[in-house]
Amino acid sequence: MFFLVIKRILLGLITLFIVSLITFVGVEILPGDACTTYLEREAYGAALEACYERLGLNVPAYERYISWAAGVLQGDFGYSLSGDMKINDVLGPRVKNSMVLASASILIGIPIALLLGIITALWRDKMPDIIISTIAIFSMTIPEFVSATLLILIVAIWLEWLPGIVIVPTGVSVYELLPNIILPVIAISMIMTAHMARMVRSSVIQVMASDYVQMAILKGVPYWKMVFKHVLPNALLPAINVVALTIAWLLGGVVVTEVVFNYPGLGRLVIESISNRDLPVVQALAIILASIYVSINLIADLMTLMLNPRLKSLQIKK
């Protein structure tokens, strides 16, 4: 068990290393470099030299990679081009804002998804299932930029209940941020919740059809006790990994939604820094997003390992 955890963590680190290499090489082989894109038409002579000097671009690529990687390991991503700011200072509040958005979506989305999934499975082919499943399929098929735009149109413009776009500065406190995130959270969690609810539904239905559930019924176990003791633990286990994938996928959804709502998070920063050709920031964002992705999947794997008695004892035997 212990070795397996270590192995998974090591694999995650290797993945991150490869991602960092790919982004670094990718940036390297783009025509031009940070200085030429930044200086544009002034990219010659002394200005260019000075820029190279400042960013340390005048040393060989592998040396730059090593010093960059060493910096990243210590939590230092270097300087951004556009604002001459430390990337850490740029990232800090953005990460916080995005975390607020994502965790609100997850905290609201997962319980609703579980609940809806279980309800639709237990009332399979009956009214509650038909209604919820139809809505779920509907909301799954609408991309978030469409649903986000529609939400703005209906809630903000027609009904005038909530602000349509976020116009607070980047560094505000969580409390001030809250009223602004309601619409983005709805837009993001709609698709995610629908996806997860469908997954949970099919997983519960599969377990309900299993021999051991039939056995529990024939043993005289009351219905709800059977659902909680015999069905849910076995049905939700395989759902953990899917939930993890959905959360990881949510990162992409966050980017689009943030842009639509003008939300000061990581997603908007990705778009901004790409259009500004701020390559150091792009590089830093790639690493951060990759590590979130890797760690979510790692957590899901570990949870499955802990909760599944089959896997647990298998590892002990070895």
User: Footprint of other proteins on this chain (CB under 8 A)?
Assistant: 209-223, 229-230, 233-234, 237, 307-310, 313
Cβ at position 225, least distance to other proteins in Å: 8
SS3 of 219, please? coil
Cβ at position 256, least distance to other proteins in Å: 39
Looking at beta carbons only, is 60 or 309 nearer to other proteins?
A: 309
Looking at beta carbons only, is 3 or 175 nearer to other proteins?
A: 3
Looking at beta carbons only, is 84 or 211 nearer to other proteins?
A: 211
Looking at beta carbons only, is 186 or 208 nearer to other proteins?
A: 208
Q: Enumerate the H helices of the chain as residue ranges.
A: 2-29, 34-39, 45-55, 61-73, 87-122, 127-141, 144-151, 174-208, 211-218, 223-226, 232-261, 266-275, 279-307, 309-317
Cα 16 from Cα 22, distance rounded (Å): 10
Cα 190 from Cα 187, distance rounded (Å): 6
Cβ at position 228, least distance to other proteins in Å: 12
Looking at beta carbons only, is 196 or 213 nearer to other proteins?
A: 213
Cα 59 from Cα 151, distance rounded (Å): 51
Compute the CA torsion angle 204, 210, 212, 216 (nearest 10 deg).
70
- Residue among 17, 294, 201 nearest 302 (CA): 294
Cβ at position 237, least distance to other proteins in Å: 8
Cβ at position 114, least distance to other proteins in Å: 17
